[in-house]
């Protein structure tokens, strides 16, 4: 993406979509809801938005099971799906499957089996044409250096949105939508529309009895948690274990969330991968480093004010 090739109207449209997603997640959290449900609310807005690419995958991971579902085993950290072609909102299905360990004891599922389970859980299935928009088709084809045509479906909104709408901002077929949320119970959840570049984990803040005693005296948290959602070259996120690397550098090296995330994103670049992450910990620290010209990103805190940015040198506003 390029700032030089964008317009104020175009940037405003993308920022509005980000703010809508942030507000959807905030609404859940402000009412005492679960981090898991907040990420689903935020990602669902982005899945439904033409300003973002709808990926028919989804992965959900939690630092600990949601308090509203005490029957979920502590060992159940998350669930992922791929090769979906008819599920209207993969993020909602990820939540439903995570909360159904008897139905799906495995951490990963794909294709027709996933969609059969989706139907049994009451998830809406749609025709494949539902996911088509001309803008995203053109973006994807140009990113692969392929011609725009032939189009796979008649364009349902050619007259209004496509001819009068804003031009594409990014032309690389690597877009992922995702969200990370922290709730009042200290649970961190990460939901991402892909099978790579995500992580959530919780661990004790103090290891030995002396450290635990001092932590109790000083009223320090008994545990520390964080979550990460990434976007970019998925192959490199897998090779570098980018999201998990961030968590482990904080956990084992005692690095700050910001330092660990910057290291991991730079490691991506050194190895030939572009991308960025959004990361959040249980202390409320947020960082969103990137190694490319731009990444749609934003944050909303307790004051309910959504702050967004697009390009690498943007200030959140």
**Closest of 87, 76, 77 to residue 113, by C-alpha:** 87
Omega within 30 of 0 (cis) for the link into 150: yes
3-state SS assignment for residue 45: helix
**Beta-sheet strands, E only, within the chain:** 58-62, 78-82, 108-110, 178-182, 188-192, 198-204, 223-232, 275-281, 286-287, 294-300, 306-311
The length of the chain in residues reads: 317
Cα separation, 190 vs 228, in Å, equals 6
Q: How far apart are the first and last CA of the chain?
A: 19
Which backbone phi and psi does 158 adopt, to 5 degrees? -65, -45
Q: In what helix (H) or strand (E) does residue 203 lie, and over which residues does it extend?
A: strand 198-204
Contact call for residues 49 and 74 (beta carbons, < 8 A): no
Q: Which residues are catalytic?
A: 176
Q: What tokens were used for 123?
A: 């998830």
Cα separation, 269 vs 271, in Å, equals 5
Cα separation, 113 vs 121, in Å, equals 12
């Amino acid at each position: 993406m390029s700032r030089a090739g964008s317009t104020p109207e175009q940037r405003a449209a993308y920022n509005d979509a980000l703010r809508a997603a942030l507000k959807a997640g905030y609404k859940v959290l402000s009412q005492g809801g679960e981090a898991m449900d907040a990420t689903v609310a935020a990602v669902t807005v982005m899945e439904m938005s033409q300003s973002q690419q709808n990926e028919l995958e989804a992965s959900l991971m939690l630092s600990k099971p949601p308090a509203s579902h005490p029957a979920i085993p502590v060992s159940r950290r998350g669930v992922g799906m791929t090769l979906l072609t008819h599920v209207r909102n993969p993020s909602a299905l990820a939540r439903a499957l995570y909360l159904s360990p008897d139905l799906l004891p495995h951490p990963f599922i794909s294709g027709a089996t996933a969609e059969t389970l989706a139907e049994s859980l009451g998830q809406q299935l749609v025709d494949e044409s539902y996911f088509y928009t001309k803008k995203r088709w053109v973006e994807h084809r140009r990113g692969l250096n392929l011609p725009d045509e032939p189009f796979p479906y008649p364009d349902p909104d050619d007259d209004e949105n496509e001819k009068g709408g804003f031009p594409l901002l990014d032309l690389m077929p690597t877009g992922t939508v995702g969200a990370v949320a922290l709730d009042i119970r200290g649970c961190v959840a990460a939901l991402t529309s892909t099978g790579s570049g995500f992580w959530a984990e919780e661990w004790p803040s103090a290891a030995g009895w002396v450290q635990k005693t001092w932590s109790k005296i000083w009223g320090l948290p008994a545990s520390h948690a964080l979550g990460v959602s990434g976007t970019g070259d998925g192959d490199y996120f897998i090779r570098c274990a980018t999201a998990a690397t961030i968590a482990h550098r904080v956990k084992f090296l005692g690095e700050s969330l910001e330092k660990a995330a910057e290291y991991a994103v730079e490691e991506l670049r050194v190895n030939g991968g572009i991308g960025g992450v959004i990361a959040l910990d249980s202390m409320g620290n947020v960082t969103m480093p990137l190694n490319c010209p731009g990444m749609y990103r934003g944050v909303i805190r307790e004051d309910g004010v959504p702050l967004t940015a697009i390009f690498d040198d943007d200030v959140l506003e």
